[in-house]
Amino acid sequence: MKREVKPSAIRGRVQAPPSKSYAQRAIAIAAMADGRSEILYPGSSDDVLAAINVVKQMGARVDVTERGLVISGGLSLPHAALDCGEAGLSIRMFSAVASVFDKPVTLSGKGSLLRRPMNVVEESLRAMGVKCSTNDGYLPLTVHGPVIGGVAEVDGSFSSQVLTGMLIVASYAKDDVRIIVKNLKSRPYIDITLNVMESFGVVAENIGYNEFIVQNGQKYIPRRYVVEGDWSGAAFLLVAGAIGGEVVVDNLEISSPQADRAITEALERAGAIVSYGKQEVTVSKGHLKAFEFDATHCPDLFPPLVSLAAYCMGETKISGASRLIHKESNRAATLRQEFAKLGVKINVEDDLMTISGGGCRSGSVHSHDDHRIAMACAVAATAAEGPVIIGGAGAVAKSWPGFFEDLEKLIEK
């Protein structure tokens, strides 16, 4: 699928999409709770649909309503391999959830997920007493519970999603669980996990993000849960306002623990005009200048930050680039390659990405089937010298199926 985006002034109001980070966690936990839960406004992104598919395979009943989902929880042994689509969180989360069974469960996926290493998942589950094997470090992955618990060590530098899975299943272990974490990255995502767990009745003790203790015997309680708006997606349209006019994005929780809320700090450093309402953020174009920013704990901000930096005079420096290798694409290499086609020079050395600003020219780019690359190119195109054609634009369905329609609402005719 190709989309052409023409340069235009940007002005208007749009609603942030639902957070797939919150939605996937809530769906998994509601499926583990015995009883009826209601998940409001989960969205229809591919990752959310994958999570729904997995819990249905695991025995939960899911009914779609006008406002969201009704999940009748209670898990049973699946009869076939669990298909996690291309959802990295789902494969790491549901591999842990599957360890509640005392028989083997196989999990797989498709597309880019088949190229993402699973060694750290295998190691983390084994640390909790679960039998686990992979296909030479890749999918498919087979889990054989039950989960025993005790003391487990995990390397948090690769992905916080593995720790998320361990925490979600910990209270269902035979013994109390003490997880010792080394070099944890993306800490705000663990805050999201702990927040959703507690909303459904299970509490984990967080000792300085170095150690987590979960008492066994706690069970998830069904409830009504509202999914908040997604700062990761909203970041793109906030950047569009900064480079092209003015944008108001609704449905944003200003005090959210979401890591990508930090986009507002980056926008302010770059010289954009940012103001806050009760559940909305307004960003207007200012005199944009190069900035420095640490995205170690919010690596999903790299694509919108590159779109922003492309229009900032001078060299912008963003640290945390080592977190980009094992995403839907190698985002560091992909951003450098695709933005070069628009005349933007990007250099990556070790953990530092440097972007030389000055604007974008017309051209043809490709998403590499990565939703955030597609959105970054589209936003950059709104202020380019001429039209930009984006190949693989359909990748946005992974997180925001209506992205291009919402962007179109902001383009002044």
* Segment 272-308, tens digit of pLDDT: 999 999 999 999 999 999 999 999 999 999 999 999 9
How confident is the model at residue 112, as a pLDDT?
Answer: 87
| Bond before 117 cis per omega within 30 degrees | no
Contacts of 408 (CB under 8 A, 6+ apart): none
* Segment 264-276, tens digit of pLDDT: 999 999 999 999 9
Q: Which of 214, 246, 268 is the last residue of a domain?
A: 214
How confident is the model at residue 270, as a pLDDT?
Answer: 98
pLDDT confidence of 412, banded at 50, 70, 90?
confident
Considering the domain architecture, whether residues 355 and 246 belong to the same structural domain is answered as yes
Does any domain span residue 163?
yes
Does any domain span residue 50?
yes
Does any domain span residue 176?
yes
Cβ-count burial 120-151 (b if 16+ within 10 Å, e if not): bbbbbbebbbbebebeeeebbbbbbbbbebee
pLDDT confidence of 326, banded at 50, 70, 90?
low
Do 229 and 235 contact (CB within 8 A), yes or no?
no
Considering the domain architecture, whether residues 149 and 207 belong to the same structural domain is answered as yes
Q: What is the mean pLDDT of the segment spanning 155-161?
A: 87
Considering the domain architecture, whether residues 209 and 68 belong to the same structural domain is answered as yes
Considering the domain architecture, whether residues 26 and 155 belong to the same structural domain is answered as yes
How confident is the model at residue 374, as a pLDDT?
Answer: 98
pLDDT confidence of 330, banded at 50, 70, 90?
confident
Considering the domain architecture, whether residues 273 and 406 belong to the same structural domain is answered as yes
For residue 119, count other CB atoms closer than 10 A to its CB.
Answer: 12
What total number of domains does the chain contain?
A: 2
Structure letter (DSSP) for residue 347: E
* Segment 358-410, tens digit of pLDDT: 999 999 999 999 999 999 999 999 999 999 999 999 999 999 999 999 999 99
Considering the domain architecture, whether residues 202 and 79 belong to the same structural domain is answered as yes
What is the rounded CA–CA span in Å between residue 38 and residue 58?
Answer: 18
* Segment 62-106, tens digit of pLDDT: 999 999 999 999 999 999 999 999 999 999 999 999 999 999 999
Instruction: Name the strands in the sheet holding 204-207, side by side, starting at the edge strand that comes first in the sequence.
Output: 150-155, 177-182, 211-214, 204-207
- Residues marked active site are found at 300
Does any domain span residue 94?
yes
CATH number where 111 lies: 3.65.10.10
Q: Is the model's pLDDT at 327 over the cut of 60?
A: no
Considering the domain architecture, whether residues 200 and 304 belong to the same structural domain is answered as no
Beta strands in 47-130 (DSSP E): 61-64, 68-72, 82-83, 104-108
Does any domain span residue 219?
no
How confident is the model at residue 157, as a pLDDT?
Answer: 84
Considering the domain architecture, whether residues 31 and 8 belong to the same structural domain is answered as no
Q: What is the mean pLDDT of the segment spanning 13-30?
A: 98
Burial of 275 (0-12, 13-18, 19+ CB in 10 A): exposed
How confident is the model at residue 79, as a pLDDT?
Answer: 93
What is the rounded CA–CA span in Å between residue 326 and residue 189?
Answer: 17
Q: Is the model's pLDDT at 47 over the cut of 60?
A: yes
Q: What is the mean pLDDT of the segment spanning 182-205?
A: 95
pTM (2 d.p.): 0.94
Contacts of 105 (CB under 8 A, 6+ apart): 77, 78, 82, 98, 142, 143, 144, 145
Strand-pair partners of 207: 211
Q: Which of 214, 243, 265 is the last residue of a domain?
A: 214
Does any domain span residue 225?
no
Does any domain span residue 127?
yes
Considering the domain architecture, whether residues 360 and 398 belong to the same structural domain is answered as yes
How confident is the model at residue 144, as a pLDDT?
Answer: 98
Does any domain span residue 259?
yes
Considering the domain architecture, whether residues 313 and 392 belong to the same structural domain is answered as yes
Which range marks the domain in which residue 346 is found? Answer: 2-16+231-410
Considering the domain architecture, whether residues 303 and 320 belong to the same structural domain is answered as yes
Could you tell me which of 293, 332, 297, 333 has the C-alpha nearest to residue 315?
Answer: 293
Mean pLDDT, rounded, of the chain: 96
How confident is the model at residue 303, as a pLDDT?
Answer: 96
